[in-house]
Amino acid sequence: MSTDFILFKETQFMGEVILNRPKVYNALNHDMILALYQKLRVWEKAPHIKLILISSSSDKAFCAGGDIKAVYEKGMAHHEELHQFFQSEYRLNHLIYHYPKPYIAFLDGITMGGGAGISIHGSHRIATENFSFAMPETAIGFYPDVGSSYFLSRCIDKTGLYLGLAGARIHAAQTCFLKLTDYFFKNISFEKIRSTLLSLESFSNHSIRECLLPFHHEEKLTDFPLEAIQRCFNASSVEEIFENLKTENTVWAKVTLKNLEKSSPLSLKTTFEQLQKAKNLDFSNCLKMESTLTKNFLKDPNFYEGIRALLIDKDQLPKWEPNTLALVSEKKINHFFCF
């Protein structure tokens, strides 16, 4: 599998991956996913490769997610073919989570959706001052996938539910606090980190951590409303979250409520249920649940309507069906969890 959109090279003992599709913020297409999976499999068995370093050729984005414009172009009539794309992506996520060698992700710029799937599951996640993270899928009539049900459901208090439902964008200090990333590097170049890694003589995860920790920048959280998130998202339903946000009545609460009100009601209720279930599932079973959800979302018009409204026509006026939370039945939600 060969593609110019993802580059591979071997430098001494390091396997390097460079995402190279900057015009679309390194959006992952099927060929890129297959190429990365195949190369990681080769390096997994190669005794001279001791660690993996993945980065981007652009400082604007590590990876903004999967190529969902291509999903829209295929359309609902090809849902089974589209499911193969997502299955390949989830297989890659599974490999990265269980990868036997250190997997270091240098996250500079936008990292969303599928970009999280090829980074957050790695053993070492480096976030720069340019890094921003989000799982914005409910806004396009989908749900947070790529194994995010596992890490979102394990975030402190109700922060994972907040991120999954509202698609909120957060930065490096916040992701380190939530343990979605391990290191915050400020004003440190990629080449400095690369050369430091190439000076290693021991390749254990402990040795790599000892190598990277001196560059870590500690920063106090001053703009993350942890207590408000807990008050508003500690709820038994999406409807209760809406009411809590109205009661909170702060700028943050108003912005969050506005974002939720724009999202697909079906996506919101399904995501709420997904993250409750994920608390009791291991990583592999989270991916199995997501595969089932994806199969059903691909047969539902809301996903395509969301892509159309936000990314194709850009009218920002998706016509959701159902169009209110009250009209999303429990039967409908349960159906989405059935293969």
Query: For the purposes of burial, counting CB atoms within 10 Å of the CB of 265, is it exposed (0-12), middle (13-18) or buried (19 or more)?
Result: buried
Query: Which DSSP symbol is given to 26?
Result: T
Residue 242: other Cβ atoms inside 10 A = 18
Closest C-alpha among 234, 111, 110, 115 to residue 165: 234
H-only helix segments in 18-97 = 30-45, 68-74, 79-97
- Contact of 65 with 114, CB cutoff 8 Å: yes
- Please state, as a whole number, how many other Cβ atoms lie within 10 Å of the Cβ of residue 298: 22
Q: Note the pLDDT of residue 136.
A: 98
* Ranges in the chain, pLDDT < 50: none
Gap between the Cα atoms of 111 and 126, Å rounded: 12
pLDDT of amino acid 337: 97
Whether 157 and 75 have beta carbons less than 8 Å apart is answered as no
Catalytically active residues are: 66, 114, 137, 145
Dihedral pair phi/psi, residue 21, rounded to 5°: -130, 60
User: pLDDT, tens digit, for every residue of 196-209?
Assistant: 999 999 999 999 99
Model pLDDT, residue 221: 84
Angle at the Cα of 164 (from 246 to 295), degrees rounded to 5? 125
Write the DSSP assignment of 250-309 as a string of letters. SHHHHHHHHHHHHS-HHHHHHHHHHHHHHTT--HHHHHHHHHHHHHHHTTSHHHHHHHII
Residue 34 in tokens? 């297959």
pTM above 0.75, yes or no: yes
Domain ranges within the chain, ordered by starting residue: 1-339
**Rounded Cα gap, residues 116 and 88, in angstroms:** 15
Q: Which CATH architecture has domain 1-339?
A: Alpha-Beta Complex (3.90)
> What is the C-alpha separation between 291 and 295, in angstroms, rounded?
6
Residue-level pLDDT at 161: 99
Tell me, what amino acid is at 19?
L
Report CA-CA distances (Å) from 273 to 90, 234, 278, 297. Answer: 20, 14, 9, 15
